[in-house]
Structure 1
Amino acid sequence: MHNETKEVLANALIDILQKRPINKITVKDIVEECGLTRQTFYNYFYDIYELVEWIYLQATEKSLAENKDYDTWQQGFYQLLISISNSKVLVQNTYRSTNRESLERYMYTVIYDQVLAVVERQAIEMSVDQKYKNFIARFYSLAFIALICEWIKDGMKEKPEDIVEQTAVLIKGDFEKALKKYAN
C-alpha cells in the first residue's frame, strides 16, 4: 500500500505537468487530481520536490542496479538517459524551475553510486585509499551531470546512444589509470 499511494501521487503530478509547469503546481492540486487528502501526501513526502525525486529514483533504480561494473557502465548510463528522456516533461519542468537542484541532487545520488561501484570493482586488486576512490567517483559524476544538464537544456535533441558512445571514448581506461596513480 505504501508504494501504491506514492505511485498514485506520482501519476497525479505527472498528469498535471502536462498542463502546467511545476512551480505552478500545489500539493492541493495533486491531491485533488488523485482523490487523496493533503495529510496523505504529507505522510509520504515533505513537499512536491521530494515527490519529484522519488519519481526519478523509481524510474532509474532498477536499470542501474544491473550495470555496476566497468564493462556495463555504458548500458547503465544509456538507461539513465533513456529514463530521463521518457520523463521529458517532468525533467524539463524541474530543470527550468527554481528548485532545479532537486534534479541535480537526484542525478548526483544515482550517478555517484553507479560510478563509485565501477571504481570499486576496478580497484579490487589495488591498494587505493577510499578517499581517492571517492574523489574519482565524484569527478566523473560531476562530469556526467554537466553533460546531462547541457543535454536537457538543449531540449534532449542528441540521441542518448551518441552521448554514451562519445563519453566512452573519452574515459576508456581512465578509471584504471587514475587508480594506478593513486595506488599505494
Structure 2
Amino acid sequence: MSNSVITKRALAAALKELLQTTTIEKISIAEICQRCGLNRKSFYYHFQDKYQLVNWIFAQEIGDTLLETKQTTVHTQLSLAFCTYLYENRMFILNALHASGSGTFYDYLCQQIQPLIKRTLATSQKSILNTDDAASMVSQSFLSAVYLWLRRTPPEKPQAFLSELISVAEVLSVRIQQLLDPPPMQ
C-alpha cells in the first residue's frame, strides 16, 4: 500500500472518529490532523477540505461499489445495501449530512444518486420532459427521508425503512394520478 493511501486512510479514520460525536461544521482541519498525528500540509496535499475527505471516505467504503453500478434501474438489493451502510454508519452519516451547500456531503450524495434516478426514469413508458430536475427533486427527497430515518431513536432496520418509503411513494403516486386524471363525464 502506498504512503498516499496510508495517509488518506489515517485522515479518514480520524475524521470518522470525530464525526461520531460532532457535526462536520464544528470539526477543524487542525483537529483531524491532531487526531491522527499528521500536519495540515499533509491534509491539504491530499484533500481540498474536510468535505472532500468525507466524500472520499464514502466513495471508498461503499459509494464506488453502489453508485457506479451498471444496473439500468435502482432495485431492492442495491437500495438495501445502500441503506444498510447508512444504518451501520449512522452517526458518521448524520453528522456529515448536517451541512448542506456546494461541495458538502449532501451535495455529493445528490450528485451521485441522480444518475441512478435518471436511468430509472429512462425506462418509464411515460416521457419526462426534464429528467435533470426530476432526478434532483427525487434525490433531495430521498436524502431528506434518510436524514429523518437516521435521526429516529432508534431508527428502524433498513428493510423496514425501505418498505415504509415504498409504501409512501405508492400512495402518493396513486393520489397524484387521481388528481391529474380528468373527472369522468356525466
Task: Flag whether TM exceeds 0.5 (same fold).
Answer: yes
Please state how far the C-alpha of 1:156 moved relative to its aligned partner: 5.7
Please state how far the C-alpha of 1:42 moved relative to its aligned partner: 0.5
From 130, 143, 148, the equivalent of 2:146 is 148
Compared CA separation, residues 67 and 88, structure 1 to 2 (3 A): farther
From 117, 120, 130, the equivalent of 1:115 is 117
Distance 1:67 1:157 in 2: 30
Name the aligned partner's letter for residue 149 of structure 2. Answer: W
Q: Percent identity at matched positions?
A: 23
Indicate the residue corresponding to 2:69 in structure 1. Answer: 66
Tell me the TM-score normalized by structure 2.
0.71
From 160, 164, 170, the equivalent of 1:162 is 160
Q: Is the 8 A contact 1:53 1:103 kept in 2?
A: yes
Please state how far the C-alpha of 1:161 moved relative to its aligned partner: 0.8
Indicate the residue corresponding to 1:31 in structure 2. Answer: 33
Q: Is the 8 A contact 1:68 1:115 kept in 2?
A: no
Q: Which has the higher helix share?
A: 1
Distance 2:135 2:142 in 1: 10
5 Å-filtered alignment, 1:71-86, equals 72-86=74-88
Compared CA separation, residues 103 and 153, structure 1 to 2 (3 A): farther
Q: Is the 8 A contact 2:21 2:91 kept in 1?
A: no
Indicate the residue corresponding to 1:103 in structure 2. Answer: 105
Distance 1:6 1:57 in 2: 13
The answer to whether the aligner puts 1:7 opposite 2:9 as a matched pair is yes
The structure whose Rg is larger is: 2
Tell me the TM-score normalized by structure 1.
0.72
Residues 36-95 of structure 1 show CA distances to partners (whole Å, capped at 9, x for unaligned) of 22111011222222212222233322023336333x522222222112122222122234
Q: Is the 8 A contact 2:19 2:96 kept in 1?
A: no
Q: Is the 8 A contact 1:115 1:137 kept in 2?
A: yes
Please state how far the C-alpha of 1:25 moved relative to its aligned partner: 2.9
Compared CA separation, residues 95 and 55, structure 1 to 2 (3 A): same
5 Å-filtered alignment, 1:82-97, equals 82-96=84-98
User: Between Structure 1 and Structure 2, how many residues are aligned?
Assistant: 167
RMSD: 3.0
